[in-house]
Amino acid sequence: MDYRASLDYLYGLQRFGIKLGLDNMFRMLDRIDHPEQSFFSVHIAGTNGKGSTAAMLESVLRQAGVRTGLYTSPHLISFTERIRVDGVPVGEAEVAELTGDMRRRLEDVPATFFEFATALALECFRAKGVEIAILETGMGGRLDATNAVTPGLCLITPVGLDHQQYLGETLAGIAAEKAGIIKKGVPVLCAPQAPEALEILRHRADSLGALLLRARKDWLAEPAGEGLLDYRGSAWQLERLRLPLAGRHQVDNAGLALAAAEHLAARYAIEAEQARAGLARARWPGRLQRVPGPPDLLLDGAHNPDGISRLADYLSGQAAQPIVWLAAFKDDKDWESAVRRMAGVVDRVICVPLRDQQSIAPETMAAICRRFGPEAETMESATGGLRRARSLAGRHGLVVCAGSLFLVGEILENCELSEGLSDREASNR
């Protein structure tokens, strides 16, 4: 099986849709002799900030000489981005070889795309001799495929509203799904949370005898100037750390990553200054990623109310004029509240469809945009929309691409800004 054939097989599994539950994963892991038992795992759940937190923690661990695995989703351009060893995406040949082998061993298991991809990542990490694997949940936590793994440490990033059709309509209900990753006796580190969500997480941890450590109680991360933060933990006292990811919310994400590294410090001989250097080297494309112009281009994967609110807060502090928003949303997102929040911080909106995804019709989105204030128009593609947005922004403006990570990926690919991520896959992401 070559790489193209392996992708065809993997994406063909999407016909099984989204199937929440762990029975398949337990069967698959048993069939492939439990690769997850060969390394220490850090499991991350939450609504926003999972990928950024995972990337920062991975960079710190790698700086300390730990052989790392990182499993995240979705990818921006290439499937190989989902599975990284020591910060490098897995090779196409390795994906092809492992997919072919696992397909034969799992032929009678009706796995979904995400279940197979998760098992593939775990098998890859075993084959590569990974010491610590960082696993990001795909959706929720309790019934997510990654929850078939028993980790040594759990992290919970901020919980908010997203995927309500699967996880429930209330913050408490969604928090309960995220809390499902908490295991008996496994320590849990928790980012700042709304009181309602925190109460659910605390109750789950207490009921399972899991130590719960909380931001702003057991550690403190605070801004220390533009692109800097101070961190005070149980042992580490670090000042003026360079934060490579933009946005006030990344201070909290970095604090959680540093707290996790500090928790693992004794076991893996991680020193505070290694954490400083590792954090400074962290990269995570598509999250308030600025591409110099003119006009400058800001790429952000914000797609739910909390993420859009953080983006709007960031834009309110930008001096560039005009700000032109290139917008696209999947049709299962709360896009109307996003438009309402962005209306006060952008001057123009270009509405486009998503490639290879079910998305909100540009004409529908444009009509709602006009209701809330900004002038809006439509284009037939993200590429055409970007050209139009750049024209409207001029030399001194700012073009913001936001609403979906799939939009960000398409822009990165078409503008050849992928930083080596692209393999020019034509299949769905």
Burial-class residue 341 by CB neighbours within 10 Å (0-12, 13-18, 19+): middle
**pLDDT tens digits, residue range 23-77?**
999 999 999 999 999 999 999 999 999 999 999 999 999 999 999 999 999 999 9
Residue 6 CA to its chain's centroid (Å): 24
The angle subtended at Cα 167 by Cα 162 and Cα 172, nearest 5°, is 85
Domains belonging to the chain, first-starting first, are 3-281 (3.40.1190.10), 289-414 (3.90.190.20)
Q: Omega before 374 cis (within 30°)? A: no
- SS3 state at 391: helix
d(CA 203, CA 189): 14
pTM: 0.92
Q: Exposed, middle or buried by CB within 10 Å (0-12, 13-18, 19+), for 91? A: middle
Per-residue pLDDT reduced to its tens digit, 146-168: 999 999 999 999 998 765 655 66
In the sheet where 83-85 sits, what is the strand order?
Answer: 88-89, 83-85, 68-71, 132-136, 40-45, 153-156, 188-190, 212-214
- Record the tokens describing residue 233, joined without a space: 């933990």
Lowest-confidence region among 196-205, 259-268, 299-308, 393-402: 299-308
Q: Is the pLDDT of residue 425 over 90?
A: no
C-alpha to C-alpha distance for 382 and 377, rounded to whole angstroms: 13
Residues belonging to the chain = 429
3-state SS class at 241: strand
